[in-house]
Each structure stands twice: as structure tokens, then as C-alpha cells.
Structure 1
């Protein structure tokens, strides 16, 4: 194993407020993601789906029928994971695989009317728990955080 350089006095990365390590922002974003995911999971639980299912429904509601291979990238999953999620969604009657004209090897996934209803219901369920997530922020801070996270997630030069 190669020697690992260590700068004298270098801080160890943490996710505590005020950490100045180069990893601090990423670690804070990870902790914020965990908290947001817990809130979204709470909102989805009464509907009988998980966050991974909802991530696929978001893509399908936004894009319409989507090829499975493209769905994996859009939902932040791998091929095996997306297959399991689509299997679950089909079993629940929330999505359906359909043949793509001109290529019988390829399948597109489409949200069903029941899936669209559940998608809309999830937004209603999410309102009170999402409000708890941002309860310590005022309206201006919420808008600013949304803007900053959007710029981080969708950089102009990417």
C-alpha cells in the first residue's frame, strides 16, 4: 500500500456544523438527504410504496413512456435495481411494460392510471411532512436553498 500523504494539522472530515474540511459540504448534503429521504419515506408509507418506487413514478409522470435502460439512469439506479422496481410497480398495477414498435427486444415502461392517482396522492400526503422538514427555515431561506441545490444538482456547464 502506498504512503498516504497527510498534511500537518489537517482536519478530519465530519458532518458537524462548522467543519472546514473539503468533504464538509458533501457530508452535510448526505445528512440532509438522509433527513429528506426519511420524510419522503414517511409520506409514502401509507400508500404502500417506497422511495425507490416513487423515484421511478416521478420519471414516468414527467417523461411519459420511458425505455427501461433510460429509466435506470433517470431514476439513479442500476439495471438490476430498476428491473426489481419496475417488477414491483407492475405487481402493484402502477406501471406497465410495453413493446416498442420496431424493436421487440426493447420495452418501455409507462405509468398506469392507478399509478398516476397514487402519484398525485403522494403529493397530498407529503405536504405536512415536507413542511416539518423546512420548519426551521423562513420562506426566503427555503427559496434560496432550493435555488442553491438546483444549481448544484444541475450545473450549467454539465
Structure 2
């Protein structure tokens, strides 16, 4: 059963996910999409970076978050995509071996069109120590039940 715009309420919150980030995945993603040395050169990163070792690209963290969000929330949603994201942040680095989990909260809703509404959903990702490593507010379009009639 799909979750429609009308089924969501401001302050609805879900916690979900369990994703272990590997060194190999960090290096592979960075080589292809964000080849900055502190993502791709572990030895140099350990010696020269302020992070003390290789870290995941923020875009990698965003992609992992999106995967967990789709699996836990959007796969059952009457979502028709998103208009973008606001407040995209990477407050702490993700390192090899970190285990990530997410929390998603509906922070606002607006009926945008007779057939859909816009949902502002704040998604935060945390490491195994509860440190926030990612956050964004997604502007997600949800179909309205019966076309808003």
C-alpha cells in the first residue's frame, strides 16, 4: 500500500538503516566521482590531511543515505520525485568501518497541485557513535489520494 501526501503529518519521524562503509567502497566511489586526494590516497591522507586518514566523499555519504531512504521510506511512497534539497550539510567525516543509520522527519507540507503535494523531509545520517555526518531537507513531491478530489 502506498503512502500518499494525506498519510503524512508534520513531525512524523522514522529511524532506519544499517550500512557499513568500507575502505574499498570509499576509494572506488572517490576515484570515479570525487577524486580529491583525501578520498583516494589513504597513506597521504593519514600523514597530511586534518582528518588523520582517508574519508568518504560527502557525495558518497549522500548516495548511501539516499539508498537507505529509498529502501525504508520511498519504496512504499506515492512519490513522484523531488524538486531538490535545502540545507545540505556534512558536519563530520565518514571513515572506513563506520556504520550509518538515518532518521527522517516531516517538517512541512504544502498542497501544491490538485494531484500532488510537496513534503519537506529532514533526513539526518549518523555514525555508530551517534555523530551526525549528513543532513538535508528534501523537497519531495507526493501524489495526493484520488488526485486531490
* Bigger share in helix: 1
**Both proteins in one fold, TM over 0.5:** no
Higher RCO, Cα 8 Å, sep 6+: 2
TM value normalised by structure 1: 0.29
* Bigger share in strand: 2
TM value normalised by structure 2: 0.30
